[in-house]
């Protein structure tokens, strides 16, 4: 038992000694790194490098480093290696600091900071460009076997407010390790470059790296200050509209179908919006979808125009721009009569109204009888004979007088007619 107890005490002592070596001593002194430098390695890209302090006490601990970006935008992070790459704009200058740190569960030991700085590039104020904007677009690449899609780049800017009239600007872009200078410019009335077009680039359609763009310039009268800017591809990628949009109507059922845009992203990576516009009453219906088909119930007595647009879904990359709307497709009946048909309808209605008014006037004023009097019926000898026979058989004297007078009159006329 005594031997076992001694062994346990020895093991316990060894464990305490090992933990003392592994755990940081609160009294340990951390020294800052040495030879801290900042080097420009590309457009809007720098490399930070340093070395551990050679006088740092060596113990069985893992030293780390804390990097702090001071300008142009504050940031900080930790690393275990002695170098770090930063993608950042440089036309405002760049400065950073680094220090040695040692972390434990209950405390953080840190050395003092060491700093380095890149000064802003020279140039007269107000000579650099302003309002730099860039967009990318994907097209099918039928000339390369390595890549099925090709990305173009288009950038525009405004001339600096204090730039001399002889200023000329030049644009460069960097994506990954590729850097290219623009060859196709658009100019203002003074011949200064104000836009650039790259029909083919090294930008990847589905890439996630930053796009760095630099515009510098030259003038005989002043030093032109350069300007650089970073672009996230998802924020500037102009998606193409959907292809082969079709729309069919069966009664009140409208069926719409389309194909995905020209893009390196697969079919499941797109969101869509369908716009249905009733041209008769102006009603607008917009639906957001994740499929390439849509069915809606509409007014079959109206004409509709249908359009579809697309955007890359957040499942495949960060949300970005919507495409332009596809060309409108018109379906349904148009209740609006053409102008010529409306003119004929108005003329016919006017004529009918005038005729109705004239007929009423003629009826009220008896103009019809005056203009077209009735024609007398022809005389009949048979009727005279019939009336004379009745006269001979009549019993009433009053009736006889009246009839006789009538018959006599008629008889005379009949005789006269017979004589002649």
pLDDT, tens only, 202-224: 999 898 899 999 999 999 999 99
91 preceded by cis ω (within 30°)?
no
- Distance CA(163)–CA(156), nearest Å, equals 17
Q: What is the pLDDT of residues 1-27, one digit of tens each?
A: 455 444 444 544 444 444 444 444 455
Residue of 171, 175, 166, 164 whose CA lies nearest to 186: 171
Tally of CB atoms within 10 A around 159: 21
Q: Which residue has the tokens 């410019």?
A: 185
pLDDT of residue 281: 87
Is 0.75 topped by the overall pTM? no
- Distance CA(249)–CA(276), nearest Å, equals 13
Residue 396 confidence class, pLDDT cut points 50, 70, 90: very low
Buried b (16+ CB within 10 A) or exposed e, 28-43: eebbbbeebebeeebb
| φ and ψ of 412, to 5 deg | -60, -45
Predicted confidence (pLDDT) at residue 179 exceeds the cutoff of 60: yes
Go through the domains of the chain in sequence order and give each one's CATH number: 34-118 (2.60.40.10), 130-235 (2.60.40.10), 243-331 (2.60.40.10)
Residue 46 confidence class, pLDDT cut points 50, 70, 90: very high
């Amino acid at each position: 038992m005594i031997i076992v107890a001694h062994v346990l005490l020895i093991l316990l002592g060894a464990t305490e000694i090992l933990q003392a070596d592994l755990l940081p001593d609160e009294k340990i002194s951390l020294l800052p790194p040495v030879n801290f430098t900042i080097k420009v390695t590309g457009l809007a890209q720098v490399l930070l490098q340093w070395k551990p302090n050679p006088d740092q006490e060596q113990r069985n601990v893992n030293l780390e480093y804390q990097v702090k970006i001071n300008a142009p935008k504050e940031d900080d992070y930790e690393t275990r290696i002695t170098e770090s790459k930063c993608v950042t704009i440089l036309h405002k200058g760049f400065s950073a600091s680094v220090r040695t740190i040692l972390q434990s569960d209950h405390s953080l030991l840190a050395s003092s900071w060491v700093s380095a700085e890149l000064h802003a590039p020279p140039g007269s104020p107000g000579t650099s460009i302003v309002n730099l904007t860039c967009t990318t677009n994907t097209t099918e690449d039928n000339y390369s076997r390595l890549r099925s899609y090709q990305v173009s780049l288009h950038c525009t800017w405004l001339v600096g407010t204090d730039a001399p009239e002889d200023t000329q600007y030049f644009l460069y872009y960097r994506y990954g390790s590729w850097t290219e200078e623009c060859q196709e410019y658009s100019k203002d009335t003074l011949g200064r470059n104000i836009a650039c077009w790259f029909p083919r680039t090294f930008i990847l359609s589905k890439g996630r790296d930053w796009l760095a763009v630099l515009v510098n310039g030259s003038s005989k009268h002043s030093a032109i200050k350069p300007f650089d800017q970073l672009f996230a591809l998802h924020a500037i990628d102009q998606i193409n509209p959907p292809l082969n949009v079709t729309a069919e109507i069966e009664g009140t059922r409208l069926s719409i179908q389309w194909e995905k845009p020209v893009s390196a992203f697969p079919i499941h990576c797109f969101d869509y919006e369908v716009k249905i516009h009733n041209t008769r009453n102006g009603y607008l219906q917009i639906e957001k979808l994740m499929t390439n088909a849509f069915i809606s119930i509409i007014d079959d007595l109206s004409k509709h125009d249908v359009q579809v647009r697309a955007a890359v879904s957040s499942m495949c990359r960060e949300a970005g721009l919507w495409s332009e709307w596809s060309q409108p497709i018109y379906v349904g009946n148009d209740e609006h009569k053409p102008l010529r048909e409306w003119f004929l309808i108005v003329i016919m209605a006017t004529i009918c109204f005038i005729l109705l008014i004239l007929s009423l006037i003629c009826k009220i004023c008896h103009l019809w009888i005056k203009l077209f009097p009735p024609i007398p019926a022809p005389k009949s000898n048979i009727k005279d004979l019939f009336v004379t026979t009745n006269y001979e058989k009549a019993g009433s004297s009053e009736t006889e007088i009246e009839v006789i007078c009538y018959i006599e009159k008629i008889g005379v006329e009949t005789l006269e007619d017979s004589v002649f």
